[in-house]
Structure 1
Amino acid sequence: MDIARHLALIDELCFRPFPAEHGPSDEGAAGPGRFTAVLASSHGLHESDQAERAATVEQYEKERDALYERLAPRWGETAPWNLRTVLLRTEREEIPEPWAGLSVLARVAYLWEAVGTGRWVAVAVADRDAADEVRLLAVVTEEAPP
């Protein structure tokens, strides 16, 4: 767990210019108005047993919560944001990216408006798809959450 490194990257993404085109980045993916950084990722868990996957999810949730503990004093305490409701809303309304995509990947996120940057920051554990790796994500975007 390298919380200091994760915080430094989140801080950098709050001020880095967004790219003009969608595509991969050194940290994950980026596009106009958004970055999705993979802070940590499992390797081979999409083929692994459920107990090992559950242990990894638990570890990444602890890391997400540790990030919350450091970001909350800066940007305010927030309740966990239930991404399941966002996912349900995608069935009947147009949800903007990166929020629609995040709701497909994760169940819960912590979310802040990064004061003084004009950007929103979310941290979440992407574990919804058992056929995919478990990832700890940071999303930085200028798109307000729905």
Structure 2
Amino acid sequence: MTTARRLATIDTLRAGPFPARPERSGPVDSGPGFHIGELATSEDFWEDDGTRSVLVEERYEADRDDLAALLTARWGPPEELSLWSVLERSMGGEEIPEPWSTFSCHRPDLRLWRVDGRWTGLGVSQWDKELPYQLLAVITDVDPPWARIES
């Protein structure tokens, strides 16, 4: 998928309604208040020494950065959201709303913009070291669960 098609996919997801219950349509998972779209998914990438895996990750991060630059030109600089604390909180028993609960399980950080009442985020994901990399976009009207400050 080209950068232009990725932007078009993000625009389509941003404009579309959210379903009343979870559903999957092609490369898009949706639910109440969110869409998560696969913008790119790597092929098998393992070599005996693991070096190709590093190159694939770097390429996907570069693709994310290129797309983020275009979105930054539209909307201004993104917020950088770390999802590690969200994952830790969910593992500690706190109920985290979707899409943040699922997204925090396989992506440690996110580039995030708030525009027209919706959040749009970009991240490079890998569910497990033996699974492919994905360039993902999340569109949601659910506010992110920012890390709480403990006193």
Q: TM-score, normalised by structure 2?
A: 0.86
1 CA distance for matches of 2:42 and 2:114? 28
Aligned residue in 2 for 1:65:
65
2 CA distance for matches of 1:100 and 1:20? 18
Note the C-alpha offset of 1:80.
2.4
Q: TM-score, normalised by structure 1?
A: 0.88
2 CA distance for matches of 1:86 and 1:23? 23
Q: Contact 1:22 / 1:32 at 8 angstroms: preserved in 2?
A: yes
2 CA distance for matches of 1:8 and 1:109? 20
Aligned residue in 2 for 1:120:
119
| Identity in percent | 39
Q: Contact 1:107 / 1:128 at 8 angstroms: preserved in 2?
A: no
Specify every segment of 5 or more residues in structure 1 that has no aligned partner in the other structure, as ranges: none
Deviating above 4 A after TM superposition, structure 1's stretches of 4 or more consecutive aligned residues are none
Aligned residue in 2 for 1:109:
110
Amino acid aligned to 2:97: P
Select the structure of larger CA radius of gyration: 2
Aligned residue in 1 for 2:40:
40
Note the C-alpha offset of 1:128.
5.0
Can you list the C-alpha shifts for 1:57-111, whole angstroms capped at 9, x where unaligned? 1001001111111111222213422122221222232211111111111122101
Specify every segment of 5 or more residues in structure 2 that has no aligned partner in the other structure, as ranges: 146-151
| Aligned partner of residue 57 in structure 1, secondary structure | helix
How big is the alpha-carbon RMSD for the aligned residues of Structure 1 and Structure 2? Answer: 1.6
Name the CA shift for 1:79/1:17 in 2 (closer, same or farther; >3 Å).
Answer: closer
Aligned residue in 1 for 2:149:
none
Matches within 5 A, 1:1-146: 2-45=2-45, 48-49=46-47, 50-92=50-92, 93-114=94-115, 116=116, 118-146=117-145
